Amino acid sequence: MKNRLNGYMLLFCVTVSVSVAKAQYTLKKDFIEKNLNEAIKQIDYLGSNTPGEKLPRTYEAGKSISSGTGWWTSGFYPGTLLYLYEYSGNEELLDRAKQKLKLLEKEKNNTTTHDLGFMLYCSFGNILRLTGDSSAYKDVLLTGANSLISRFNPVTKTIRSWEGWTYPVIIDNMMNLEFLTQASKISGEKKYQDIAITHANTTMKNHYRNDMSCYHVVDYNPQTGDIVAKKTAQGAFDESAWARGQAWGLYGYTMMYRETKRKEYLQFAEKIATYILNHPNMPDDGVPFWDFNAPDLPASSPYASQYKQYRDASAAAIIASALLELSTYVKNTKAKEYVNAAEKMLVSLSSDSYKAPIGSNGGFILMHSVGSIPHKSEIDVPLTYADYYYVEALLRYRNLLRN
């Protein structure tokens, strides 16, 4: 059961059989498995620090911070448990994930958020993939997908992200489109993927600048579809390149190429990767600052003196995972570039500089992520989604080596 793969991993592995000749993999199996085994030990400790009716969110000032199921990160902890179960075959990890899924199921009816991909697909999508139990999980996913598309506006051609503003759409929303493409596969109904494609196309047109950095927020007029404003909520300033936003875009368009085979998505993902990997402010260890413009902030910026130096391990984990998949879709030189960059990130994240000793950090695997500096929230702390994408990247690398 632990070797069963979902649609994207099946495609991923098929592509790998061709791409092994494209790029050399320098990390050893022992390195990958050591870090996965230590992740299992650490997530055991995390579980002991998490109330039974809550989901882990972060660890700050010596205290574990949990969330209810309605918080956007609620699906990552059960998703990480399921990834580690997939690797290890440890049924206890599966049982713990199922316990949290019982709490999370009610979010299938939540029409007040666009984050249902994070909440439901990273959790219920993974358990359906691993168990094949459609009688238990198909309805949850399809009900949740219908809740998500209830936020789609055919005038703006986007799925609304937040309440407030006018009609805001954030780059993070690209990550929820995989949920819709999979809903079409599960149901046989084309409407979900059609909405995903429409949203991706609109985002490609309106979110990205000429240099292939992206805005965090594009606010629309829901009656006309016109753009009201292009802003940031979590970046350094409106025209800056918020690091996790760049990561979401890279991952999202790589995934959309996998799901649709539309070459424009592959080409777009490659351009985003070029921007990220060649940015002059990308640190040598491959772990980005919280905003690519942070090191250059003027002294007058409210973030210049206190916040400019912070890294975001979550962005590195997302980028590494995306690059490993992207490497399987491109030719030799680029494949090697993407694998080498992902390897550098994984080595850095697995070092003492970013990975916490077992039994510390509240049970979270990675240290030094950033939620939102403008909101003074979750600054230089562990984050549940950093761990999820780090484990995912390790598993993807392991699959590359095995194939």
Which are the catalytic amino acids? 115, 172
Q: In whole angstroms, what is the distance from residue 312 CA to residue 381 CA?
A: 9
Q: What's at 215, amino acid-wise?
A: Y
What's 356's DSSP letter?
P
Q: In whole angstroms, what is the distance from residue 319 CA to residue 337 CA?
A: 13
Contact 130, 181 (CB under 8 A): no
Radius of gyration of the chain (CA): 20
- Name the token pair of 133: 């139990």
Q: In whole angstroms, what is the distance from residue 87 CA to residue 301 CA?
A: 45
Core vs surface per residue 140-155: b (16+ CB within 10 A) or e: bbbbbbbbbbebbbee
Q: How far apart are the first and last CA of the chain?
A: 18
Stated length of the chain:
403
Which residue in 321, 303, 305, 324 sits closest to 313, CA to CA? 321
Which residue in 155, 149, 181 sits closest to 167, CA to CA? 155
- Name the token pair of 346: 């994984």
Residue 369 forms beta bridges with which residues? 381
Q: In whole angstroms, what is the distance from residue 344 CA to residue 19 CA?
A: 19
In order of 195, 317, 320, the CA distances from 247 in angstroms are: 22, 9, 9
Contact 61, 368 (CB under 8 A): no
Give start and end residues of each alpha helix (H) in 122-242: 126-131, 134-149, 177-187, 191-206
